[in-house]
Amino acid sequence: MRAMQTLGKFLTVGLSNTLLSFLVYLGLFRSGTPYWAAGALAFAAGAANGYVLNRRWTFRSADSTGTRVRYLAVTLGGLLATDALLAAFSPLGSLGAYVAAVPLVTLATFAANRSWTFP
C-alpha cells in the first residue's frame, strides 16, 4: 500500500510540474521569448519543481549533489524515452502515441526515482 501512496504523490507532483511548465511557457512566449527557449526554460522550471517536491514530500529524502545528479539523469532519461516511444508508437497517430508513451515513462521514472534517486 505504501508504494501506491508514494505513486499517488509522484503523480500529483507530476501534475504540478505540468501546470507550472505550461504557465512558465505561456508567460515567456507571450513576452516575446522564442518558443524553443521558452520550452527549455519551462521544462527546467518543471524539473526543478519536481525535484524539490519529490525529494521533500514524495520520497522524504535528504538533499545532496548525488541526489540532484541522479534526479537530472532520470528526468533526462524520461525525456529521451518519451521521444523514442513517440516515434515507436507513431502508427497510433500523434495523440495515440502520446497516450501510449506517457504512462510507461511515468512508471519507469517513478521506479527509478524510488529505487535509485531517493532510496
pLDDT in tens, 57-115: 999 999 999 999 999 999 999 999 999 999 999 999 999 999 999 999 999 999 999 99
Where does the pLDDT of residue 1 fall: very low under 50, low under 70, confident under 90, or very high at 90 and above?
confident
Residue pair 113/61 in contact by the 8 Å Cβ criterion:
no
Q: Where are the domains of the chain?
A: 1-60, 62-119
SS3 84: helix
**What residues have CB less than 8 Å from 25, skipping those under 6 apart?**
38, 39, 41, 42
- Please say if the pLDDT value at position 47 is more than 90: yes
Q: Count of CB atoms within 10 A of residue 19's CB?
A: 12
What is the Cα–Cα distance from 48 to 55, expressed in whole angstroms?
11
Where does the pLDDT of residue 31 fall: very low under 50, low under 70, confident under 90, or very high at 90 and above?
very high
Please tell me the pTM assigned to this model. 0.91
Please compute the mean of the pLDDT values over residues 19-33 and round it to a whole number.
97
